[in-house]
Homo-oligomer: A and B are copies of this chain.
Amino acid sequence: MFLEIRHLLSLKTISESRNLSEASESLHLTQSALSHQIKAIENYFDTQIFQRQHKPLQLTAAGRRLVELADSVLPAVADVEYELKQMAAGERGRLHITIECHACFEWLLPALDQYRETWPDIEIDIRLGMSFEPIPALSQGKIDLVITSDRLAAKDIVFEELFNYQAMLAVAPDHPLAKKEYIVAEDLKNETLITYPVERNRLDVFTKFLFPAGIEPAATRQAELTAIILQLVASRRGVAVLPDWVLRETMATNNLTTRPIGASGMFGTLYAAVRKTDRQAAFIEGFINMTREIHG
């Protein structure tokens, strides 16, 4: 490859000018530089590009082919350069989010609708993190943001605290447990516990509450969607432990009561994990700030 973008730009400009001197001005070069440039191209290809000795600098067939190339290449390059600058400014980018907690859909989906308004050029996608470990995937650039409650060690990743939540037991208003001030592990011994379909050791109810007390619920059952879980609870088919933000909004409409887990409550924190290199990107900042505001 001999040609460079520079050559194409010069050629294009010359073809749009009446003479070399005029072209050289708009290119911020001397006319001599252009003359040398053309000669170099003509030497390399061993063919004329301009019909010399004619007033309105006329292209030869070879010249026309080059200008044609310039016409297709230059705009493409200019576009990409513009896009890259936008990316660098954080106005454009990819935000592929993985969430580990199913319940997060409840606030994430409406939040993203709002986000899209401020960041129209960010390519958003959400994946449920099951088939792969999210933090390595983040390191490798397969995804761009992980919403998680585990702060794992990884040197090129930062964890930004989004908000705290309290896990609450959701029961039907006429359920016996609705009368208790707070729930202890033994209370669940005779209950059906409804959870999202994930491993037990990824559920706080088990890891932080039932396992330590050595208690096993009477039965467990899984449901994919939060709305289904809430309906099951309302119709007294079981109880569920959910973050307070899910329940706060739906308590009234779904006719539910919530009770704290344990005497001092069960709390957690949600983090946004991002690559250190992305941390300062405007569209990442924007996402973090927005979610903090929503839950502030």
Contacts and interface: CB of A to CB of B under 8 A. Distances in A.
A224 interface: no
A48 B278 CA distance: 10
Contacts of A85: 45
A140 B46 contact: no
Given A53-B156, A58-B140, A139-B54, A88 B47 contact: yes
19 contacts: A1-B6, A1-B9, A1-B74, A1-B78, A3-B81, A4-B5, A45-B81, A45-B84, A47-B84, A51-B140, A51-B141, A58-B141, A60-B141, A61-B87, A61-B94, A65-B80, A66-B84, A68-B80, A72-B76
A277 B46 CA distance: 12
B2 A81 contact: yes
Nearest to A85: B45
Contacts of A140: 51, 54, 58
A76 B74 CA distance: 12
A77 interface: yes
Interface string A176-208: 000000000000000000000000000000000
Given A4-B6, A45-B88, 11 more contacts: A1-B6, A2-B81, A3-B80, A3-B81, A47-B84, A48-B277, A51-B140, A61-B87, A61-B141, A62-B88, A69-B77
Interface of A: 1-6, 9, 45-48, 51, 53-54, 58-62, 65-66, 68-69, 72-74, 76-78, 80-81, 83-85, 87-88, 93-94, 139-141, 156, 277
A160 B62 CA distance: 24
B78 A76 contact: no
Contacts of A72: 76
Nearest to A41: B84
Given A66-B84, A84-B66, A93-B61, A77 B3 contact: yes
A3 to B, nearest CB: 6
A58 B156 CA distance: 14
B54 A88 contact: no
Contacts of A141: 51, 58-61
Contacts of A1: 5-6, 9, 74, 77-78, 81
Contacts of A74: 1
B58 A84 contact: no
Contacts of A51: 139-141
Given A58-B141, A84-B47, A3 B5 contact: yes
B66 A80 contact: yes
Contact of A69 (B45, B61, B76): B76
Nearest to A50: B141
Contacts of A5: 1, 3-5
A48 B275 CA distance: 12
A87 B62 contact: yes
